[in-house]
Amino acid sequence: MVAEGDCNSIGEAARRVLSGDKITIFYVDNSLHSPMQRLSEIRSELRSIGVNVNQVTRYFNASSTEDQKLLHSKGVLKEYHQVTARIDELLLIVSELAKKWLQK
């Protein structure tokens, strides 16, 4: 109870048991570790893609020829395809979590 609960010592746990006070036990659900880690990775990837899109947009606006602008437009399209893939993966993870945690 001391390791998993809100008691700071064995003596405090014993006093609460003898007096009938409430002891809160904390449980860690390790089944969420992997999905939460992947969600964090996707967040970082989306942030990196956003930085790349901002850089390509800056180069696009600074370009003077149509060929350069076309090249930068293709770069943005490539980044948006990566966003689509990450969002699809994100939605899959969220739907699996919803099935698990929103059961009736």
Q: Which residues contact 41 (CB under 8 A, 6 or more apart)?
A: none
Q: Are 50 and 63 in contact (CB under 8 A)?
A: no
Residue 11 falls within a domain, yes or no?
no
The position carrying tokens 């007096």 is: 19
> Residue 68 is part of which domain span?
30-101
In a domain, 72, yes or no: yes
Task: Report yes or no on 83 lying in a domain.
Answer: yes
Q: Between the CA of residue 2 and those of 7, 9, 18, 29, what are the distances in Å?
A: 5, 6, 15, 19
The pTM for the full model equals 0.61
Residue 18, in any domain of the structure: no
- pLDDT by residue (tens digit) across 35-91? 888 999 999 999 999 998 899 889 888 988 999 889 888 888 888 888 999 999 999
**Does residue 44 sit within a domain?**
yes
How many domains does the structure of the chain reveal? 1
Q: Is 3 part of a structural domain of the chain?
A: no
Residue 38 lies in a domain: yes
